[in-house]
Amino acid sequence: QLQLAESGGGLVQPGGSLSLSCATSTYTLGYYGVGWFRQAPGKEREGILFISEDGDKTYYADSVKGRFTVYRDNAKNTVYLQMNRLKTDDTDVYYCAAELFSDGSKWSDKREYDYWGQGTQVTVSA
């Protein structure tokens, strides 16, 4: 069973940058499309971006387009999320999720994903 672990969350000032990682040591992540989601208390989990198994397709929500970048290193079984120009509205718990052999057509639908990480808190505050 695929086990995902996010890391890299923390506190950052508005306008700053933060890098998150999503890694697995239990299986080959290269078979999975990976989505990143975020969720604030009392709100729906929001899909913000997706990367295909080999990294040749990426999709971004409008809320993060131009500020966030996703990339992956399948040799390290890791997907990275680089977040720049952070805003206070980006404060959330961030989750990565994996879908086996995903075509990405429903990348923002959390029901499409087979495995989830435990989440990492990102707080953007002065």
Distance CA 90, CA 39 (A): 10
Residue that the structure tokens 């923390």 belong to: 10
Which pLDDT value is given to residue 123? 97
Distance CA 73, CA 54 (A): 9
Distance CA 12, CA 61 (A): 21
Distance CA 100, CA 120 (A): 22
Q: Does the pLDDT value for residue 25 go beyond 90?
A: no
Which pLDDT value is given to residue 104? 87
Distance CA 44, CA 25 (A): 29
Q: In the structure, what pLDDT confidence band is assigned to residue 71 with cuts at 50, 70 and 90? A: very high
